[in-house]
Chain A
Amino acid sequence: MKARVLLLFAVLLVVLSSPTVLADWEISKNVTHRSTISLRGYMDEIFIYQTEEGLAGSKLVYGSRGSGTATRTVTSYVDECEIYFNIQGEFDYHPYEPQTSENDLRGALRAKNREVGTIISENYSEMAYLIEEPVSSQNDDGLPVYEISSRQRGTVWLGTW
């Protein structure tokens, strides 16, 4: 009985007297970061640093967003006690207009009614662009079956509900 109590007590003492209390970093010794970016266009970036969670330690947030010409260098060093952060940059605003092709506008719409078994679809495409839309059919139970097959260059959103 004595041994059990003493053992637990000893473990407790070791935990409490450990130099790595909860707020201290146990694995990461430090973080070093250096980044240089030259950009002519649009940028949106954010840096967040902290030495401790919650309402403790040191925090730092840096962000920049917008279009134009930018050259910036970020240097940072963080350990469990301190944050060093340096930003050096030149930012010149001018609007950014991405290069677009002549056939840059596309749209498609599909409306389905599974209970009735009807389908209405319309799509707009310019030259050299294709959206294939197979005709809907019904299976042996009389339920409509749909299959979407399309190919395009750009962004595709698919949803199901």
Chain B
Amino acid sequence: MKARVLLPLVVLSLMLGSPTGLGAWSIAGNVTEHSYIYLSGYIDEMKIYQTDKGIAGQKLVVGTEGSGTVAKRQTAYVDDSEMYFNEWGVFQSEGDLRNALCAKNYAVGTVVSESYTEIDYLIKDTTVFQNDNVSVYSIASEGRGTARLGARVKDGYDGVTIMTYGGTYIGDFNIRFDLGGGGLPCP
């Protein structure tokens, strides 16, 4: 009788005490990716990353669609508790090319998004780092077209909404955007 009670308790305490929780990857240790694409023609690609299922962990989706000339480089590192992503690219088109990125950190409560449409030309360098404690987003872009940026910072998934930002920029733009949330030290 004692063993019947103690055994589930031990299992339960192990599950609850695990630092990586239910979302831990059991087989894949990490994912590393580095890609470079040069294209003069039509492109339609999308990449989706996540560290956990559902409303948990960190997510990132990035995509490019349209015709024109594209030279871009992507670097990604994802494991069960953090992700790093960088996209650098030069885009040229006659307005039929679009690029977008959205990154979410449910553990910290941050979201950032960027999209570029009606691109005449675009030079971008976007870096995302997210883990269970901090989010760091760095967007640098210059171009001609329509740029839309958005960000939201909450205190965790269901906490107070600390910051909300939305911006639409049409024309010739040069953007530098840095946002940090979580347990970062004072600037």
Contact = CB atoms under 8 A, between A and B. Distances in A.
Interface of A: 25-53, 67, 76-78, 96, 98, 153
A39 B142 CA distance: 10
Contacts of B177: 34-35, 37
A25 B167 contact: no
A45 B163 CA distance: 13
Given A31-B180, A34-B178, A40-B171, A47 B186 contact: no
Given A28-B156, A34-B178, A43 B168 contact: yes
Given A27-B156, A40-B172, A51-B160, 13 more contacts: A28-B154, A30-B181, A34-B176, A37-B174, A39-B174, A41-B169, A41-B171, A41-B173, A42-B171, A45-B165, A46-B166, A53-B161, A153-B95
Contacts of B107: 27
A25 B163 CA distance: 13
A27 B156 CA distance: 6
B159 interface: yes
A97 to B, nearest CB: 10
A29 B182 contact: yes
Contacts, number: 129
B162 A50 contact: yes
A78 B135 CA distance: 15
B8 interface: no
Interface residues on B, range: 35 or more
A44 B153 CA distance: 20
Interface in B80-128: 95-96, 107-109
A153 B108 CA distance: 40
B184 interface: yes
Nearest to A45: B167
Contact of A25 (B159, B186, B187): B159
Contacts of A47: 163-165
B27 to A, nearest CB: 29
B169 A153 contact: no
A46 B165 contact: yes
Contacts of A44: 167-168
Contacts of B178: 32-35
A51 B180 CA distance: 16
Contacts of B172: 39-41
